[in-house]
Amino acid sequence: MQTRTLGSSGLAVGAIGLGCMGMSWAYGSATQAEATAVIQRALDLGVTLLDTADAYGPFTNEILVGNAIEGRRDEVVLATKCGITVEDAASYRLGRNGRPEYIKAACEASLQRLRVEYIDLYQLHRVDPAVPVEESVGAMAELLAAGKVRAIGLSEVDVATLERAMAVHPIATVQSELSLWTREPLREVLPWCAAHNVAFLPFAPLGRGFLTGRYTSATAFPSGDFRTRLPRFQAEAMAANQAIVEGVQAVAARVGGTAAQVALAWVLAQGSQVVPIPGTRRIAYLEENAAAAAVSLAPAEITLLDALPVAVGERY
């Protein structure tokens, strides 16, 4: 697989990464054997950026990933996050904590769960409105200076916040949602990243699975699946948003790929600094997603995809 660089960190990764959240959070759970099989296959395919967070589970996802990469640590660019606290897992009620002492303690705990000596990319999952971002980033910079992390990233931030953070320490990556039904970062954040040598990591690049065309009704999701709570997965919105899926499928028929591959290829086409991190618990879907790195979209096909309707419903 072709590689891309995580901004100023210089870390090279496969053009498509793997989001590990769904292996133990929000969409159900995988066994250790299932997770290990998917992650090991990902590394075989050149999918080297693995993204997790302490909040997923909470805590169980990092253990799952740490066990899965045993013996192959040198093949992995390992990304995790801190800053979101799970106040109630059943209802997905979350809090935020960006205090320096919390970030340092969270990093130590993540290192232990992952069973590694350092984290390649340590990300602030969400900025804490009660803590100046400069203080949070300052703590992360101290972790980097101590050799516990190799690069720093932020998630779901605007340009003003990025400017403040960059005044403290170089930011290697920004992680936010980006897909054919979530295009807001194209306006300001993605151009800013391109201009400042910051990689952009789109989570949910397949619209939480919707853009694959596999879901036409919320009844397809098991009890407890996070998507059943989201506005875009309510019956009326799902029906309206099928127009987006149909447009993606039409382009897929033109290029000889799947809807998922076209959706990922569109994300990749947004810039050489973009590294999407689709998640899956199945090897077949992992292989399908990885193959999207080789899908080339002509300008006319990009134009067709750009013209697709805006998604009905808010993200959350």
For range 290-303, the mean pLDDT: 98
pLDDT one-digit tens code per residue, 57-115: 999 999 999 999 999 999 999 999 999 999 999 889 999 999 999 999 999 999 999 99
Superfamily name and number for 3-206+270-282: NADP-dependent oxidoreductase domain (3.20.20.100)
Q: How far apart are CA 64 and CA 39, in angstroms?
A: 10
E strands along the chain, which residues? 3-5, 12-14, 18-19, 49-51, 77-82, 84-88, 93-96, 119-124, 149-155, 173-177, 199-203
Residue-wise pLDDT tens digits, 186-228: 999 999 999 999 999 999 999 999 999 999 887 788 888 999 9
Task: Yes or no: say if 46 and 75 are a contact pair by the CB < 8 Å rule.
Answer: no
pLDDT score at 224: 83
Least confident of 23-27, 70-74, 185-189, 274-278: 23-27
What is the amino acid identity at position 249? Q
What is the predicted pLDDT for the residue at 142? 98
285 is catalytic: no
- Within 8 A by CB and 6+ apart from 76, the residues are 43, 48, 50, 69, 120
Taking a C-beta distance cutoff of 8 angstroms, is the pair 52, 60 a contact?
A: no
Catalytic residue among 27, 56, 102, 285: 56
- Residue appearing with tokens 């190799």: 150
The 10 Å Cβ neighbour count of residue 172 is: 26
| Contact between 166 and 172 (Cβ < 8 Å) | no
pTM: 0.97
Can you tell me whether residue 96 is helix, strand or coil?
strand
pLDDT (tens digit per residue) in 234-271: 999 999 999 999 999 999 999 999 999 999 999 999 99
How does DSSP classify residue 311?
Answer: P
